[in-house]
Amino acid sequence: MPLDPQAQVIIDLINASGFGDVTAMTPDGVREQMRGMTASDESASVDRVEDLTIPGPAGDIPARLYARDADAPLPMLVWYHGGGWVIGDLETHDGICRDLANTIGCVVVSVEYRLAPEHQFPAAVDDAFAALRWVADHAGELGGDPARLAVGGDSAGGHLAAVTAIAARDADVQLVFQLLVYPAVEYEFERPSMIENAEGYMLTRDAMQWFYGHYLNDPSEGDDWRVTPTRAESLAGLPPAFVVTAEFDPLRDQGVAYADALAMAGNTVTATTYDGMFHGFFSMGAMVDRAKVAVDDAAVLVRDAFAI
């Protein structure tokens, strides 16, 4: 099907602004542009919003907690923002974290992991897991229930959530769910969706090569399971997953392939490709009705895993 009409309006604006051509810019320039386009919207009121500092392997990791007031400990979702491991921060994803905290009814802890090229692979992965372990160890202090802990993220953040779920299994950190929103889970540039959606839909094939060029120390690292998680020795024994993909997204096919790999390994997986949507739509509920549907779909599955 064609782009959803609401999505088409946004894509037209993005293409007219030149935002999609990150390859012609410096990382700092793209970061500034992204912040300008995703200014924090605090209209979605959350009872409790607190900035945190989490000890990390190379220094403090900024984080932000979102939660409603509750008399009992709430389930917890550790969220990793997208941005190709190069851009994005607590502010660019403030809106979606507010939506998830309210829609699911849980504590959301958003993690501002180190970015490339200043901090290349595996810095983001190391920070992501360190943050998860810290949240698990300090859940009670945060008003959370350590027995109901999940990870999630979008794009590069979806990749970090997927990899962290594997690392958590191996370290005996118990998770009940993983929410993977159009995750970048495969170092590849040749799947059909990567070719068909190479340009014109915000995220481009060239942009993915630009992101990886900044993130990886060497292309050979693309074979590392912490970059391409299907390279892990085993995908068995992982928490249930919801894998969100978008029809007009270069990453669509690798997300679907990862969902299939999880299912083949015996895990419970729900995978939905949202027709007419593009990479980045999930956080655009104020402008795209299908985004609200996707967030609601995610909330139902996460709430079920949390037994809410």
At residue 146, the pLDDT reads 96
β-bridge mates for residue 80, sequence order: 111, 153
Catalytic residues: 155, 249, 279
Give, in order, the Cα–Cα distances in Å from 226 to each of 114, 119, 222.
15, 15, 8
Position 29 pLDDT exceeds 90: no
- pLDDT tens column, 135-150: 999 999 999 999 999 9
Q: What is the DSSP string of 214-261?
A: HH-SSGGGGGSTTTSGGGSS--TTPPPEEEEEEEE-TTHHHHHHHHHH
Alpha-carbon distance of 184 to 165, in angstroms, equals: 15
Please report, as a single letter, which amino acid is at residue 284. M
| Count of domains for the chain | 1
How do 144-154 and 177-181 pair as beta strands? parallel
DSSP 270-301: EEEEEEEEETTGGG-TTT-HHHHHHHHHHHHH
CATH number at residue 21: 3.40.50.1820
DSSP assignment letter at 62:
E
The C-alpha atoms of residue 165 and residue 171 are separated, in whole angstroms, by 10
CB distance 102 to 175 below 8 Å: no
* Residue 18 binned pLDDT confidence (cut-offs 50, 70, 90): low
The reported pLDDT for the residue numbered 39 is 54
Q: Which DSSP helix (H) or strand (E) runs through 183?
A: none
Residue 196: exposure state from Cβ atoms within 10 A (0-12, 13-18, ≥19): middle
**Residue 1 pLDDT more than 80?**
no
Is 98 a residue whose pLDDT tops 70?
yes
Task: Label residue 158 by pLDDT band (50, 70, 90).
Answer: very high
Residue 29's domain comprises 5-306
Q: What is the pLDDT of residue 108?
A: 98
CB 290 within 8 A of CB 274: yes
Dihedral sign (CA 204, 206, 212, 215): negative
| pTM for this model (two decimals) | 0.96
Indicate the range of 29-43, 76-90, 161-175, 217-231 predicted with least confidence.
Answer: 29-43
Please tell me the distance from the alpha carbon of residue 233 to that of residue 230, in angstroms, as a whole number. Answer: 8
* C-alpha distance from residue 68 to each of 47, 50, 293 (Å): 5, 12, 22
Calpha distance 62→111 (Å, rounded):
6
Q: Any alpha helices (H) in 45-122, and if so which ranges?
A: 94-100
At 176-202, the pLDDT tens digits run 999 999 999 999 999 999 999 999 999
Q: How far apart are CA 224 and CA 63, in angstroms?
A: 27
pLDDT value at 15 more than 80: no
